[in-house]
Structure formats: structure tokens, C-alpha cells
Amino acid sequence: MAILTVNHVYHTYFSQEVATEALHDIHFSVEPGEFVSILGASGCGKSTLLSIIAGLLEPTAGDVIIKNHDQSTSIGYMLQQDYLFPWKTIEENVTLGLKLLKYHDLHAKDIAKELLQAVGLPNIEKKFPRQLSGGMRQRAALARTLAVDPKILLLDEPFSALDYKAKLKLEDLVCAMLKSYEKTAILVTHDIGEAIAMSDRIILMSAKPGAIHKIFDVPRELAALTPFEARTHPSYGAFFQSVWKELESLEHSTSS
Ligand SMILES: Nc1ncnc2c1ncn2[C@@H]1O[C@H](COP(=O)(O)OP(=O)(O)OP(=O)(O)O)[C@@H](O)[C@H]1O
Ligand SMILES: [Mg+2]
């Protein structure tokens, strides 16, 4: 049974002069443990959709249903920029959510230590974000997101500010962590390769207004691999082409 259902969601932004329809009848479900990517051109409404799923934005119509949970406790959010607080140490950043949940200080520190170890950042608890590279900061942000044990992770282009090598490594790390902690994830990206390498399913959105154009099931033999392995698998190229063609057809239909 689905852990999350986006139930016929519409969203329109209103300003004094204009109304912008950002989302039009978005409807899909996500199964527990599934990794779903939302792929689409800039401005097609991906971040709007994630904000609605996170409960940060009220949709104009429709709703989001999360099985057995409410939005505030079961969802973790990871963004393009790490948003670590610069004046707090890495440990303080990672334990922040746990403190809000009234975890005992020592327990929170233990959780932070374990997670920082798991993301490959041992012994940096007392460092400040500015002392870390971009990739290390994103790994610390991943540890912070996982610390409060959310059931569902929302990832809004978390790799886009990184160099290619750091990005490929972080993709593998995120997939491995999500698998071992049995999380469900929704990733927003405009990178086809990333969507294919990481996901079980890809939701391709068209723009103006943002709508679901097509949903692809990633071939099983690719979905079973790590992202890095998937990129070098023989069937990666053909599947990339089929997604690419759909994206191209969308661009032509919206620019004409
Ligand atoms: N706060 C806002 N007020 C008015 N319009 C907005 C607001 N936020 C987004 N929009 C508009 O809604 C549409 C969808 O924006 P959104 O940020 O969700 O797109 P996106 O797919 O995440 O884009 P990108 O890939 O560039 O991050 C765009 O036309 C955008 O201009
Ligand atoms: Mg966005």
C-alpha cells in the first residue's frame, strides 16, 4: 500500500496583477521504500510540488495523504544548498532537529556521531561548516536530515552545486543510506542521468502549467544497481535515449 499519495493537487500563485498556475492535477502514489524522481525543465513546478508534499505550502486544490503519519514528523527535506547554520558546529547542526524533539543531549550526540561516521565524516563534530568542502557539507546535511528519522525524504536538487566526481559519489552514498535505513525518497532533478541512475520510477513533468507528462518505470536491471554501476550498464544508453526523446518533444511543444 502507498506510503504517500499526491491526490489531484493543483496550485496557483497569486500576485496583485497575475495568477500563475504552477501545478495542474498532479496525481501519483509512492510505495514504501521506493525512490521516485521528478524530472522537468526549470520553472515546471518541481519545488512547488515538493513544498506541498512537505506541508510547507497549502495546495490550491487537492491534498497529500501520508499513511499513518502527519507531514510534520514523517518528512525530511534536503535542498540544493546545505543550509547548515554557519555559526554552529557540525555536531550542533546535526543534532538540531533531535534537540527540538527533546532528545537527551548525549543520545543526540551518539546519533550524530553514528550518522557522520556513516556518511564518511568521522571526527569532524567540532568543525564549522566553512571548514568543510561543498561535498562534505552536503554529506553533513544528509546526516542532519536522517537524524530525526523521517520516513520520507524529499531531495530538491541536492547534488547540483557539486563537481561531477563529488556528485557521483554522493549519489551512491545517498542511495546506500536510504536503502540501509529503509527510507522512501522523492528526488527533484533536471538531470536525466541522475534520475535514471538513482530511481525506481521517473515522473516527467511538462511546464506551464506543471503537469505530469509521462511516468517511466526504470528497467529492473538498472534500478537494482548502485547509481554508479547503473550509469555503465549496457541498457542505460537506450533508456536514456527514450527519456531524452520525451523531454525534447516537450521542449518543442512548449517553445512553438
Ligand atoms: N512564490 C512564488 N510566487 C509566484 N510565483 C511563483 C512562486 N514560486 C514559484 N513561482 C512560479 O511557479 C512556477 C513553478 O516554480 P517552481 O519553483 O516550483 O519551479 P521548479 O520546477 O522548481 O524550477 P527550477 O528547476 O528552476 O528550480 C514558475 O513559473 C515560478 O515562476
Ligand atoms: Mg526548483
Model pLDDT, residue 255: 58
Of the candidates 20, 38, 73, 55, the residue with the CA atom closest to the CA atom of residue 189: 38
Q: Where are the domains of the chain?
A: 4-69+152-255, 84-150
Q: Which residue puts its alpha carbon closest to atom 25 of ligand 1?
A: 42
- Taking residues 36-49, what's their average pLDDT? 94
Dist. CA 25–CA 7, nearest whole Å:
8
Dist. CA 52–CA 180, nearest whole Å:
27
**Position with higher pLDDT, 26 vs 68:** 26
Please list, in sequence order, all residues whose beta carbon lies within 8 angstroms of the beta carbon of residue 92, skipping any fewer than 6 positions away. Answer: 85
Q: Which residue puts its alpha carbon closest to atom 28 of ligand 1?
A: 43
For the cut 70, the answer to whether the pLDDT of residue 73 exceeds it is: no
For the cut 60, the answer to whether the pLDDT of residue 58 exceeds it is: yes
Answer whether 47 contacts ligand 1 (Cβ < 6 A): yes
pLDDT per residue over 169-214, tens digit each?
A: 889 988 998 988 889 999 999 899 999 999 999 999 999 999 999 9
Query: How many Å lie between the centroid of ligand 1 and the Cα of residue 22?
Result: 7
Fold of the CATH domain 4-69+152-255: Rossmann fold (3.40.50)
Per-residue pLDDT band at 37 (split at 50, 70, 90): very high
Please list, in sequence order, all residues whose beta carbon lies within 8 angstroms of the beta carbon of residue 120, skipping any fewer than 6 positions away. Answer: 139, 173
Per the prediction, the chain carries an average pLDDT of 91
For the cut 60, the answer to whether the pLDDT of residue 256 exceeds it is: no
Q: Which residue puts its alpha carbon closest to atom 12 of ligand 1?
A: 22
Model pLDDT, residue 169: 87
Model pLDDT, residue 127: 95
Dist. CA 25–CA 211, nearest whole Å:
7
Name the β-bridge partners of 39. 189, 204
- Taking residues 96-107, what's their average pLDDT? 89
**Position with higher pLDDT, 166 vs 225:** 225
How many C-beta neighbours within 10 Å does residue 213 have? Answer: 18
Per-residue pLDDT band at 70 (split at 50, 70, 90): low
Model pLDDT, residue 80: 75
Q: Which atom of ligand 1 is nearest to the CA of 205?
A: 21
Among 46, 58, 208, say which to mutate for ligand 1: greatest number of ligand atoms within 8 Å of CB. 46
Model pLDDT, residue 77: 85
How much is the pTM? Answer: 0.91
Kindly identify the ligand whose nearest atom is closest to the C-alpha of 40.
1
